[in-house]
Structure 1
Amino acid sequence: MKNKKVIISIITLCILLILGFLRWDNLESESSVDFKYKYDRWTGQKWVDFYPPLASSNSMEFPLIYIDKINQDDINKYLGKQALTGELVNKWIERTKFTDGYLGLLFMNIIVIIYSCFRIFVLKRKNT
């Protein structure tokens, strides 16, 4: 019975890890030097990483709401408009909830596996 719990937890862990790896779809065909577009499959939201030309390695990441592409000249206007409407924050909150839920399930699953294995090994030592 205890082995079933471990096996189910390991299968669930594998499924969670696969879902984590498949979350993001990099849209290379739309990306450019300054912009890297990606699609969050969990939330159905398109995001962009903007790498300013004069910044060394700092990037800005934000969701694209009601548009599919953006150019460098329109970023400040776009972010200002979306920040005022509150949609930018709502998209971040939605993404954070999915990420936190996923990480919670992942850590809970790992703890169950560790605890179950510990119990199995402790019981084996007591029986021998």
Structure 2
Amino acid sequence: MKNKKLVLSIVTIFILLLLGFLRWDNFDSSGDINYKYDRWASQKWVEFYPPLAASPNSMEFPLMYMDEIHQSDINKYLEKQALTGELVNKWIERTKLTDGYIGLLLLNILVVIYSSIKLFILRDKK
């Protein structure tokens, strides 16, 4: 089979897309706070939508050493975790996993494009 690389890359793309869709598990929301779990990093995250904010953007941060947080405790929690450096370490871990995933996905897409072009050029020459 001449196009093993193409078939393998397409299968790998589908597996990567499936893994991407299964990365996050949303938990219950309580008011302006939404909890989600990053399966790749085994880390619980909080998505907070400030009620009186000028923009609809949310804040995201890892939730460490507790299962839930109240809106009044967010600033104190973030200050404490930022001083220890753990907050940054969790963000770096999440970013590395995301960047690696995107890199693998793009690499597979490029292999599919290259293999397809090579297959069609060889077919046209015959």
For Structure 1 versus Structure 2, the TM-score category normalised by the shorter chain is over 0.9
Q: What is the Cα-based RMSD across aligned positions, in Å?
A: 0.8
Over 2 Å off, 4+ runs = none
TM-score of the superposed pair, with normalisation by structure 1? 0.95
In the TM superposition, what is the alpha-carbon distance from 1:5 to its structure 2 partner?
1.0
Asked if the contact 1:37/1:47 (under 8 Å) is kept, the reply is: yes
TM-score of the superposed pair, with normalisation by structure 2? 0.96
What aligned pairs does 1:72-87 form with structure 2 within 5 A after superposition? 72-87=71-86
Counterpart Cα distance in 2 of 1:13 and 1:83? 37
The percent identity for this pair of structures is 71
What aligned pairs does 1:8-19 form with structure 2 within 5 A after superposition? 8-19=8-19
Aligned twin of 2:101: 102
Structure 1, 50-59 or 78-87: larger mean CA deviation: 50-59
Aligned twin of 1:114: 113
The superposition leaves residues 39-78 of structure 1 with CA deviations (integer Å, 9 ceiling, x where unpaired) of 0000000001001111241211000011110001111110
Give the partner amino acid of 1:84: L
What aligned pairs does 1:1-128 form with structure 2 within 5 A after superposition? 1-28=1-28, 31-55=29-53, 56-127=55-126
Counterpart Cα distance in 1 of 2:108 and 2:31? 39
Give the partner amino acid of 1:87: E
Asked if the contact 1:2/1:116 (under 8 Å) is kept, the reply is: no
- Is there any run of 5+ residues in structure 2 with no aligned partner, and where? none
SS in 2 for 1:2: coil
Structure 1, 114-123 or 1-10: larger mean CA deviation: 1-10
Counterpart Cα distance in 1 of 2:59 and 2:14? 32
Counterpart Cα distance in 2 of 1:48 and 1:25? 12
SS in 2 for 1:18: helix
In the TM superposition, what is the alpha-carbon distance from 1:2 to its structure 2 partner?
3.0
Q: Count how many residue pairs are aligned between Structure 1 and Structure 2.
A: 125
